[in-house]
Amino acid sequence: MRQRPFDEYCKRAFDHISASILMDRELPDQVFKGEWKYFRFCIFDDWILNKRFIPTLHKLLRIEGADVACMWNAKQDASPQVAGASLVYLDSDTTPEEYDKLLDGDVPAKGWFYDFNRFVCMSDVGEWCIFGHRLEAIGIFGFRDEHTLQKFSPTLEMIRAVPLTTQMEWGGDPFGRLIPKWSEGLLRNYASQDKK
């Protein structure tokens, strides 16, 4: 996959992740730190693990006027300057085919698709943050304020990223099969600002 050269925008995107995610926590606990108050949930495998993610990412970058997004395979430690096994920088030039190659890898069963459980993605502007938990197939978009959430709402609707309570009402996988500990924990940590 073509790698964007590391620059100040890449560093900014990586720094936003470091300042926004509690890497020692797991769902259903609160993994976002700081002023993240509004959350939208989607089915992780439906679009994050698919080349359809790239057109959506391009829209997110365009809406906020960002240059690059840092995508971190949070299973592994990462240094911001070293893209590769655990870290990649995606921008408006990244193609769906390049992303597909990242997921599949150059050797069978060696791509990101086979080697990660937690995923974090943020841009150099930092208005949104995506946290994905592959094992549970849960993707979470975080926003700090309602105005920013509204700005991204049309894109979120396209990928069916909705409040947690709405996903639970729909009842499909994975939200319809959560054990009580998970559903109670997610509701406690992510539904306080829910608005349909």
Q: Where are the domains of the chain?
A: 8-22+36-190
CB atoms within 10 A of CB 159: 19
pLDDT at 37: 95
Cα 111 from Cα 106, distance rounded (Å): 7
Least confident of 2-6, 60-64, 148-152, 160-164: 2-6
> What average pLDDT does the chain have?
86
Q: What is the pLDDT at residue 109?
A: 53
Q: 28-37: per-residue pLDDT in tens?
A: 999 999 999 9
pTM assigned to the model: 0.89
Give the model's pLDDT for residue 76. 56
Strand, coil or helix: what is 45?
A: helix
**49-68 average pLDDT score:** 94
Cα(13)–Cα(49) distance, integer angstroms: 20
For residues 164 and 42, the answer to whether their CB atoms sit within 8 Å is no
The predicted pLDDT at position 110 comes to 59
pLDDT over threshold 90, residue 187 = yes
Question: What is the structure's pLDDT at 134?
Answer: 81
What is the spatial order of strands in the sheet that 38-43 belongs to?
38-43, 138-143, 128-133, 118-123, 68-73, 87-91
Judge contact between 89 and 131, C-beta under 8 A.
no
The 8-class DSSP code of residue 160 comes to: T
**Gyration radius (Cα) of the chain, Å:** 16
